[in-house]
Structure formats: C-alpha cells, structure tokens
Amino acid sequence: MRKLKLSMRILAIAFTILTVASCKDAKKEHTNEDGHHTEMNSDENHMEMNHESEAHHNEDGDHDNTSATRDVTPSTQKNAQTAPIIDAYIQIKNGLVADNKGDAAKGGITLLAAFSNFNMSQLVEAQHKEYMEIAESAKEHAEHIVKSPIGHQREHFETLSTDITDLITLLGTDKTLYQDYCPMKKAIWLSETKNIKNPYYGSEMLTCGNVKKQIN
C-alpha cells in the first residue's frame, strides 16, 4: 500500500512538471515564430510581465494580486439566479482569450450591471454578508477591467476569478463549468468549455493549463 501511494505521488509530481514544461516550451515557440523577444527565455519574459504588473499595482494603489482566502459556506443548490453574473464573467474571459481588450471591457460593463440587478432578497441571512464581500471585490475588479489596458485587465481578472468561484460556492449555479489552472500564472479561471483556452496569456500560450475540476 505504501509503495502504491508513493508511486501515485511520483506520477502526480511528474504530471505537474510536464505541464509547466510544455507551457514554457509553447511560450518559447511563440516568441521565436513572431520574431519578438528572441533573446528572452520564458522565465525572463514571465518576470518582465510580473514587473509590469507590480508597477500597475503601485500606480493605482488599490489592487492586491494576492486574494485572501474566504471561508465560504458551500451551497449544493443549482441556482439559476447567478447566471447573468457568470455569463458576464465568461464574456470577460473570452475577450482575454481572444486578446481583445474591447470585448473584455464590455464584459466588465455587463458584469457591473449583473451585480446591480441581482436580487439580494433571495439570500438567507447567513449568505448576505458573504455575498456583499464577494460582490464588492468583484465590482472593483470589473471597474478596472473596463478602463485598463489588456495586461492589467488580466491581472484584475485573476482575483475576479476567485470572486466568481466563491460566489458559485456560496450560491450555486445551474451551469456546467470547468475550473482550470494556469501553472505559469499559478491562478485559476472558470470556463464554459472543457478545452483549455488560457485567458492570462491568450494567443501567446493559448493551451497552457489543465482542468482542475468540473462544476455540475
């Protein structure tokens, strides 16, 4: 039994290493094909993106890239009321996948409207405080996505993804979704399709990532 557990752990570690390696290779191939940054390896390019992100955080002074872990009370109901919020989030995600700042911004506007139109009277008392905390954070990041360049949209999308995941945990959804993980960004996102399409890098590393779990 111990040998079996050890073998399973080794296989899991090997899978993670292979996933990260394939993502890094994809990034190298992209930079060599388009003729940009040919002297910069994937790790250096990733560090450059992080430095750009940090500069943005220092400029706006109100975005912390490390989202706090919430203690959300999970719901098992298939709640259709969260659909407009999730649809708007997916619109942002698809805009980033397509490297389209304008579409992502439109999704941010739709998301703000979805939260404004959400009927909080359906919430039980125990859910109200948690919902308000999630909604406040999600709306803040949506506002930045509306007005920011695409690199900063992606930074705010990272925490927004945690907010929407927490919202689904709290209230439930009737949609089938997939929680995906980007090993380069070390961040999750939600998708309506099982195929990996990475919103954090778009065409640069479109298929980088893996499915962590299916919702519904």
| Position 50 confidence tier, pLDDT thresholds 50, 70, 90 | very low
Q: Residue 16: what pLDDT? A: 53
Residue 56: pLDDT over 50: no
How many of the other CB atoms lie within 10 Å of CB of 176?
11
Q: What percent of the chain has pLDDT over 70?
A: 68
At residue 46, does pLDDT exceed 70?
Answer: no
> Are the C-beta atoms of 155 and 189 separated by less than 8 Å?
no
The pLDDT of residue 24 is above 80: no
Q: Which two tokens stand for residue 215?
A: 């919702």
Burial of residue 140, with CB atoms counted within 10 A of its CB: 0-12 exposed, 13-18 middle, 19 or more buried:
middle
Map tokens 């975005």 to a residue. 63
Name the more confident of 151 and 16.
151
Q: How confident is the model at residue 82 (pLDDT cuts 50, 70, 90)?
A: very high
Q: In what order do the strands lie in the sheet with 210-215?
A: 187-191, 177-182, 210-215
pLDDT tens digits along 138-194 = 999 999 999 999 999 999 999 999 999 999 999 999 999 999 999 999 999 999 999
Comparing 18-27, 140-149, 201-210, which segment has the lowest mean pLDDT?
18-27
What is the average pLDDT value for the chain, to the nearest integer? 80
Q: Which residue has the higher pLDDT, 186 or 56?
A: 186
pLDDT of residue 72: 86
Query: CA-to-CA distance for 19 and 169, rounded, in angstroms?
Result: 27
